[in-house]
Every structure is written in C-alpha cells, then in structure tokens.
Amino acid sequence: MNISHLLRRSAQVFPSRPALLAGERVLHDYRQLAARVAALAGHLRTRCGVAPGDRVAIFSANCPQYLEALHAIHWAGAVSVPVNYKLHARELAYVLEHSGAHAVCVSGALRDAALAAGAAPATLQELGSDAWEQAAQGPALEMHACAPQDVASLFYTSGTTGRPKGVMQTHRNLLAMTMAYFTDVDDVHPDDAMVYAAPMSHGAGLYNYAHMLRGARHVVPESGGFDPAELVRLAASVGRLSFFAAPTMVHRLVEHVRRAGAAADGFKTIVYGGGPMYVEDLRRALDTLGQKFVQIYGQGESPMTITALARAHLADTAHPRWAERIASVGVAHACVEVRVVDAEDRPVPAGEPGEVVVRGETVMAGYWANEEATAATLRGGWLHTGDVGSLDADGFLTLRDRSKDVIISGGSNIYPREVEEVLLLHPHVSEAAVVGQRDAEWGEVVVAFLVAGEGGAVDDAALDALCLDHIARFKRPKEYRWVPALPKNSYGKVLKTELRAWLQAEG
Ligand code: AMP
C-alpha cells in the first residue's frame, strides 16, 4: 500500500476538515490538499519525467508545501529523500549524487545552495513558487500502487562518522510506524493539530502520517522553525497542539513558559526524543507543563519506533521505581522486539549493559547502495543500533550512550550521560556535555563542557563536590569548561565529535 493512501482516505472521509495551516491561517481542507497532491504528482510524472522508484530530494526549511511535496512524491510512486536543509553544499552534493536524485524540491531561499551542490537547474521544483501553484492546479495523477516492501523514503543519517548512509524506509515501515504512534504514543483526535516546530526532514515530518490518517490539522509555524513564544501563541489560538521536539527544544520551551508565566493549556502532547532527556530537565518540564509528555526512542533505521515511555508511566509517580523509569526510554513498541546483547550477539542478563538490537515491522530494508553496511547493521536479522543500554526485569530500557561516546579511562568505562545528569543537578548548570580527551597516562580523561544558567558559572570545587556526592571518583571530570553554547546540529543533537575535535586541536 502506498503510504499516501492515508491522505487519499482522509480526503474521502473528512473532505472539508481543515488540513494544512500556515500559522493560524487555514490554507486547504483535506479534499483540496489531496487534489493538489495528485496534481503535483502528475506534474512530477509528466513534466519532470519522474518514474516510480525514482528518487526526488526535498531540500527546504519547514513550510506548508513541504507536506505537499512529500505526499506528491509518494503519490507518484517515487522515493522521497528529505535532506536536512542546514547541510553544507558538499554534503548535499553527496546525498544528491549518491541517491541519484532525479529532481529536487527546493525552497526559494535554498535554490542557490542546491545549484552550488550541483543540482541541475531543470530538475529544481521551487516550493510555493508560481510554477508550483500552477502545477498544483493541473490534472490529477492516479495514485501509484506500491508494494509494501517498495522503498518510500531514503533517510540519510547524519554521518558524524564517515559518509552518511541512505536508510531505505519502505511503505510498510512507515505504515507500521504510523500504527505504532496510536498503540504506544498517543491517540489522535480530528480536532488535534500537529505543529511542525522541529525540522520536517526528520522525526517531526514522519509524524505527519498519523495525523493525516485521523484527519487532524497540520500547522506549519510562520517562522518555519522553533520559536517558543510563537509556539505558546499558537497553542492558545489553534488549540490541542501536539508536536515532536528534541529534548533541547523542550528545555527552551519550559524556560520560556516559566519566564513569561505563559499558559500552556493549548498543548496536548509533546513527544520528545532523538537524544537524551536529562532527568532534571524532565522533572522541570513536568512541573511546568504537566502530564503532556511521551518519550520515544528511535533512529532512522527504525523510524521513531524502538521504545516509548508513555504518559501513564510518567504520571505513575507512586510506582516504587518511578525515578528509574523516568530516566529510561520506556518499553519496546508493540510492533518490535528489543534486546540488549554482548559483542557476540548473545542477550545479556537484566541490568547489564550491551548493544541495543531491534527486530520488527519498522526496521529498514537496508542502506541504499551499501551492501556492506547493510549486512553489518542487520546481521542475524536484528538491527544493531550502536546504542548502549540495559533492560530491566520489567522491560524498561535505559540508554547509556552511543558506543562511540563511551569514555575509557584507566581501563574503566564511563558513560558520559551519567556524569551529565549529575552536573545538571547544579542550579547554575543549564546544559552539559561530557567527552573524553586523549591522555598519555589514563587513555582518556573526562572533560565537561558546561553552559551556565541565569546564576552564572561556578567554581570547579563546587562541581567536584557534587560529583563526589553522586558518582564514583574516577568518573569525575578532570576539567570543566564553560562555553556560551554547545555545538548542535539542526535536529538539536549535541555534536560531541565537534567537542572532541576542539580538544584534539589543542593537542
Ligand atoms: P537519528 O537516526 O538521527 O534519528 O538518530 C538516532 C539516535 O539518536 C539513536 O540511535 C540514539 O542514539 C539517539 N536517540 C534517539 N532517541 C533517543 C532518546 N529518546 N534518548 C536518547 N537518545 C536517543
């Protein structure tokens, strides 16, 4: 089944429900949206020569036409390649070349960047341009019938090590992911609204399908990005607003709401994930906004769907293991199995750390044109996530770190996240990132990068004392560095490779 069937179905069942909004302004209802998508698919097919299976990239910041482009590509049976719009021209060039993109849907502001990356002018389709509007009024294409195992989308991994890899997400993967939203994350009501505050090329965009299926509203903020004040205003005016956010975005929203004393009634569900949510931040978020949170753990290779920490788990404060549970990423989604294994792929006992592996309906078909990486990552029929975690006896998974971030100092493993959680207990520490620095004596030593909160920086002795109170002496940072901000990618993930590079550059 073609994943865009969800849009076609809603156009039939809920034709006059508002579908696409720019801020508070309704642009199209479901009937209009499906008609535009079918016409744009026709344009791609007949004017641009896009055949089923061809790859079409989308290189754009968030805008309402993003959803039109995504669905038009699928409607035509082609493969979408959503590209992080903050990529460097060289990185974009690699993705376009590697995927063999036949056409590129680009926002006006990024046209030059796409050309600089080698996109042929004739292949560019400018979102929201006059030509786009004209194409959206053209003759409709019948939806291409896809097999479940056909590739719907290529998701290029961020490639912090080596070249990015193109994850092949099939129509079946995306459908399973959509159903998993209902079983393990949240139910969606037709009056709900999904707001795209995080980049649509990533997790936020993937959540469009569940909201398409229910005939809910899709809201693209006028700013095209994450602006806490705008989001709070939209929550008040649009109402029943849900969104996906990286933990760093939750942190910023919470600080804004606290400072501004804003009401947050208009928010329905905030799904957070994509990186570690520190317990101190989560407690503050729950105190400020109430029980509106659900956590997901996923990766491009099993989109948005490995584990979930449900609202009910977060609300179950009387549970004897509540404190451990809120520090976990929850339990396996219903449609996948999750294990923690040793280096020989043998499951380890409860509580022991190992690599998280996943099997099930959402697991990718493999990496595009990269058999070697596919075979290694999917060996034995399990997706090897590269994440280190442990499962407790009740099935709750606690992530430590990505294996490449683990610090080995004097022969002992140190999980940076554990140290970061402790540093964040200090009221003056707003953000923390811990990395290893090469050291002749210890192999690696622990270095903490810190961003000060309103109270300003504190001296090393105070932080040392805090660490000695909570964690083993050998895990204590040898150095604390206060920085104005941590380097992050556009998905809000802290770039630890960059922090390590800073340290290495110093020798
Ligand atoms: P990506 O493929 O870009 O979505 O990145 C996926 C990676 O982000 C995972 O392999 C994890 O390392 C990390 N990640 C995703 N969700 C979470 C979460 N809820 N908590 C901690 N790390 C996460």
| pLDDT tens, N- to C-terminus, the chain (507 residues) | 999 999 999 999 999 999 999 999 999 999 999 999 999 999 999 999 999 999 999 999 999 999 999 999 999 999 999 999 988 888 899 999 999 999 999 999 999 999 999 999 999 999 999 999 999 999 999 999 999 999 999 999 875 556 789 999 999 999 999 999 999 999 999 999 999 999 999 999 999 999 999 999 999 999 998 999 999 999 999 999 999 999 989 999 999 999 999 888 899 999 999 988 999 999 999 999 999 999 999 999 999 999 999 999 999 999 999 999 999 999 999 999 999 999 999 999 999 999 999 999 999 999 999 999 999 999 999 999 999 999 999 999 999 878 788 898 888 889 899 999 999 999 999 999 999 999 988 889 999 999 999 899 999 999 999 999 999 899 999 999 999 999 988 778 889 989 999 998 886
Give the global pTM: 0.91
**Ramachandran region of residue 276, left (φ > 0), alpha (ψ -120 to 50) or beta?**
beta
- C-alpha 346 chain-centroid distance: 29
Q: Which residues contact 300 (CB under 8 A, 6 or more apart)?
A: 155, 157, 167, 169, 364
Probe target for ligand 1 pocket from 387, 388, 488, 496, with the most ligand atoms within 8 Å of CB: 387
- Fold adopted by 406-505: GMP Synthetase; Chain A, domain 3 (3.30.300)
Give me ligand 1 centre to Cα 489, in Å: 13
Q: Is there an atom of ligand 1 within 6 Å of 300 CB? A: yes
- Cα(282)–Cα(418) distance, rounded to whole angstroms? 15
Q: What residue ranges do the domains of the chain occupy?
A: 1-17+28-169, 406-505
Give me ligand 1 centre to Cα 460, in Å: 31
What is the identity of the amino acid at 212? M
CA distances 2 to 8, 12, 213, 463, Å, are: 10, 16, 13, 54
CA distances 146 to 72, 367, 419, Å, are: 14, 20, 48
Give me ligand 1 centre to Cα 273, in Å: 7
In this predicted model, what pLDDT tens digit does every residue of 372-399 receive, in sequence order? 999 999 999 999 999 999 999 999 999 9
Is the separation of the CB atoms in 291 and 270 below 8 Å?
Answer: no
- Cα(483)–Cα(502) distance, rounded to whole angstroms? 12
Q: Is there an atom of ligand 1 within 6 Å of 329 CB? A: yes
Is the separation of the CB atoms in 275 and 246 below 8 Å?
Answer: yes
- Cα(58)–Cα(54) distance, rounded to whole angstroms? 13
- Cα(111)–Cα(148) distance, rounded to whole angstroms? 34
- Cα(348)–Cα(356) distance, rounded to whole angstroms? 10
In this predicted model, what pLDDT tens digit does every residue of 180-201 receive, in sequence order? 999 999 999 999 999 999 999 9
Give me ligand 1 centre to Cα 399, in Å: 10
Is the separation of the CB atoms in 392 and 351 below 8 Å?
Answer: yes
Token pair, residue 115, equals 């050309």
Q: Is there an atom of ligand 1 within 6 Å of 206 CB? A: no
Tell me which residue has its CA closest to atom 5 in ligand 1: 299
Tell me which residue has its CA closest to atom 9 in ligand 1: 299
- Cα(218)–Cα(267) distance, rounded to whole angstroms? 14
- Cα(435)–Cα(502) distance, rounded to whole angstroms? 11
Q: State the closest ligand 1 atom to the C-alpha of 295, by its place in the atom list counted from 1.
A: 19
Side-chain half-sphere CA neighbours of 293 within 13 A? 30
Is the separation of the CB atoms in 156 and 83 below 8 Å?
Answer: yes
Side-chain half-sphere CA neighbours of 434 within 13 A? 28
- β-pairing verdict for 383-391 and 429-439: unpaired
Q: What are phi and psi for residue 65, nearest 5 degrees?
A: -70, -10
CA distances 196 to 200, 224, 237, 414, 415, Å, are: 7, 8, 16, 36, 32
- C-alpha 108 chain-centroid distance: 24
- DSSP result, 403-433: GGG-EEETTEEE-HHHHHHHHTTSTTEEEEE
Burial group, residue 93, by CB count within 10 angstroms (0-12, 13-18, 19+) = middle
Q: Is there an atom of ligand 1 within 6 Å of 297 CB? A: yes
- Cα(448)–Cα(420) distance, rounded to whole angstroms? 8
Is the separation of the CB atoms in 239 and 216 below 8 Å?
Answer: no
Q: Is there an atom of ligand 1 within 6 Å of 190 CB? A: no
Q: What is the DSSP letter of 123?
A: G
Probe target for ligand 1 pocket from 297, 336, 400, 497, with the most ligand atoms within 8 Å of CB: 297
The angle at the Cα of 359, spanning 213 to 196, to the nearest 5 degrees, equals: 35
Side-chain half-sphere CA neighbours of 66 within 13 A? 29
Side-chain half-sphere CA neighbours of 300 within 13 A? 22
Give me ligand 1 centre to Cα 505, in Å: 27
Total H helices, total E strands in the chain:
18, 25
Is the separation of the CB atoms in 152 and 174 below 8 Å?
Answer: yes
- Cα(301)–Cα(168) distance, rounded to whole angstroms? 8
Q: Determine which helix (DSSP H) or strand (DSSP E) holds 243, and give its type and residue range.
A: strand 241-245
- Cα(492)–Cα(253) distance, rounded to whole angstroms? 13
Q: What CATH superfamily is the domain 1-17+28-169?
A: ANL, N-terminal domain (3.40.50.12780)
Q: Is there an atom of ligand 1 within 6 Å of 487 CB? A: no
Q: State the closest ligand 1 atom to the C-alpha of 307, by its place in the atom list counted from 1.
A: 19
CA distances 98 to 80, 106, 122, 490, Å, are: 14, 18, 19, 22
